[in-house]
Structure 1
């Protein structure tokens, strides 16, 4: 009886061990191909978002009024101050042209003096969130 039991045990162990020895794990290799246009588009989006975002920094408002005049003022401003970021922000019912993003008020006031030479109605603002 023990021999028969031992044969059954060996038989079961053999058939359980056989599939385990033949099986192997799957080896997966993932290759992600990303178009260069996607990366450039993502960088452009980040640039646009950073210029539009209303944050705790000081800005200089150089114009408020109609859309066409705001676009014209923005174009002129970018020619006069090519190193400074500027954008148009719509706050119903007017369009505003905001320039710069200054960490401190003193930096913003220094630039405001320079900007007022060309745009006398400019003012210093700190937009709310």
Structure 2
């Protein structure tokens, strides 16, 4: 009877050694399958973002703050002013709502005076290159 016990224990030990060896020898390999069009879309997005934020035209900033209020302000503005471009720009830690795309300062100031009626904190900006 003790002989059978010893065989069972030996079998259990051998089995555990093989199982632990097998589980220890597994390697963690992660492979990411990515559509080639994704990189192309990402590059297009980068081009668009850089053209929005950096150019030699004047813009009017009507809001800066958290993401929810900036989205609300943008939607309100677009609803009332369908013919003026508007976008949200993130500049750590704030979100900014920029409107318009004016060639001259005079044109931008004229629209700024109109916008100050609804957005009293609005001001004129010219993003740097």
Alignment TM class, shorter chain as reference: 0.5 to 0.7
- Alignment check: 8 A CA contact 2:59 2:108 kept: yes
| Native 8 Å contact 2:53 2:127 kept in 1 | no
Report the number of matched residues.
87
**Secondary structure of the structure 2 residue equivalent to 1:118:** coil
Larger radius of gyration: 1
Give the structure 1 partner of residue 100 of structure 2: 100
Q: Distance in 1 between matches of 2:121 and 2:63?
A: 7
Aligned to 1:116: 116
Partners of 1:84 and 1:99 within 8 A in 2: yes
Counterpart secondary structure, 1:84 = coil
Name the counterpart of 1:11. Answer: none
Structure 2: runs of 5 or more not aligned: 1-40
Contact 2:53 2:89 in 1 (8 A): no
Shift of 1:53: 3.9
Q: Output one character per residue of 1:23-81: Cα deviation in whole Å (capped at 9) or x when no partner.
A: xxxxxxxxxxxxxxxxxx9xxx7xx5586242010000000000000000000000111
Tell me, which stretches of 5 or more residues in structure 1 are unaligned?
A: 1-40
TM-score for both structures, normalised by structure 1: 0.61
Give TM-score, length-normalised by structure 2: 0.61
- For 1:76 and 1:86, locate their aligned partners in 2 and report how far apart those are by CA, in whole Å: 11
1:50-61 equivalences under 5 Å are: 52-61=52-61
In structure 2, the residue matched to 1:75 is 75
**Which structure 1 residue ranges, 4+ long, deviate > 6 Å from structure 2?**
none
